[in-house]
Amino acid sequence: MEACWSTLMSTFKGTFKENFSGDKFTAENFTRAGSQPTHDVLQAPVVWALDAFSHDYKLMAKTAEAIIALAPLAPIHPVYVLNEESFEGRGFTSFLKPALKTMAFKSLRDLLSHEAFDSVRRHSAIQTPRVILESSSSLDQSVSKLMRYAKRMGAQMIALGTHASSPVSRYFTTRFSDVIMREHSVPTLITGPRQSDISAQPKVIIFPTDFSEACRDVLQDVIELARASGAELHFFHKNLHPIDAFVQTGVHMLGGGWVSVESYFQQIPDEFEQEAEQWLSVAEHAGVKACLIRENDPESTADAIVDYARSLDPLSPMLAMALQATPLSAFLLGSVTRDVIRNSPYPVYLPARIAQA
């Protein structure tokens, strides 16, 4: 969502007047540019990224439950990426390095035999776990290797659990999940520390958006996900409020951008309605039932998103969010997406990140 919010003002006007693959952005052209209606997209493999040496069994088990609920027929491939940073951070001495991959595999196998994974093991689509070795100490390289592996597997997505740490704690320790959220080139399903039990496929997918170009870039992926899962699609828009903390200072910081309060409140609300109508038309033309939710309460964007999701709890909601933050903006300003992941009891789906030019 970072790029969505950071480009808020620059993309309000005429977003949907721009060309889409050389044609006007219409429901007909959108569907033609995308794939044909299909329900087998959720049967492709899922790469389940694990930490072989972690004892956070509950979080990892809930990630597996989220995978099974969303894609019950998909083969699930447990994977651990082992790099020199893991080697050094775990306190292994140099003479143990040649045996480290074997040790990691045994640890991964033992982890999956823990009682927390009893229900997961009963799922017939769980595959043999695999350890991928990355010789460098770079987390970026480890994530790149995981992405390449997922693409070779033809994976529909990567799934992992994270505690979605605050900007302050990320200053002291960069997490593997932080890099994935920043650099993912494969769709990614993330569960946070407050993830609730999941037993059913989502009946509603919530897509928080400001209707900007960056959100439009992933709209097709979100619509395809809703169509494949048979879920309704709720476009959720949170209006900024003048009593928000940053607005009171004269600017509002959203995912890396500075938006003046005066400029924001000069925008014509009707433009949202016009653009939203086009988004709804695109979704419905693709066979997806969709609606627009506008939130005006003076609470933070992340809180508003999570509160709305909680209101739909009987429908097993899932969130889909666009995320294209730079490392600097993610550290300095935090992230709406990260705040949602940290507080949401529901999984968050991140469509594949579009590389910046």
| Residue 295 bridge partners (DSSP) | 238
Whether the Cβ atoms of residue 312 and residue 341 lie closer than 8 Å to each other: no
Domains (range + CATH), the chain: 2-39+198-350 (3.40.50.620), 45-155 (3.40.50.620)
Torsion of CA 241, 242, 245, 250, to 10 degrees: 130
Question: What residue type is assigned to position 68 of the chain?
Answer: I
Cα(234)–Cα(29) distance, rounded to whole angstroms? 22
Q: Return the SS3 of 178.
A: helix
CB 280 within 8 A of CB 290: yes
* Nearest one of 158, 126, 129 to 144, comparing CA atoms: 158
Burial 102-119 (b: 16+ CB within 10 A, else e): ebbbebbeebbeeebbee
Closest by Cα among 173, 171, 183, 114 to 146: 183
Sign of torsion over alpha carbons 54, 317, 229, 151: negative
The pLDDT value given to residue 91: 56
The full 3-state SS of 142-171, as one line of letters, equals: HHHHHHHHHHHCCCCEEEEECCCCCHHHHH
- Give, for all 357 residues of the chain, the pLDDT tens digit: 444 433 333 333 343 334 333 344 555 555 444 444 444 678 899 999 998 888 889 999 999 999 999 999 899 999 999 886 656 655 555 556 667 888 889 999 999 999 988 888 888 788 999 999 887 778 888 899 999 999 999 999 999 998 765 554 443 345 788 888 877 889 999 999 898 888 788 999 999 988 877 788 899 999 999 999 999 999 998 876 554 444 434 434 443 345 555 555 555 456 677 888 889 999 999 999 999 998 888 788 889 999 999 999 999 999 999 875 545 444 443 478 888 988 999 999 999 876 543
H helix runs in the chain, sequence order:
2-6, 27-33, 57-70, 84-89, 100-112, 118-121, 139-152, 167-172, 176-183, 213-229, 245-248, 261-266, 269-285, 301-311, 327-333, 336-343
Residue 321 · residue 340 · CB < 8 Å: yes
pTM for this entry: 0.79
Sign, CA torsion 95/101/102/108: positive
CA distance 119 to 121: 6
Place of tokens 């040649």: 98
Exposed (0-12), middle (13-18) or buried (19+): which is 336, by Cβ within 10 Å? buried
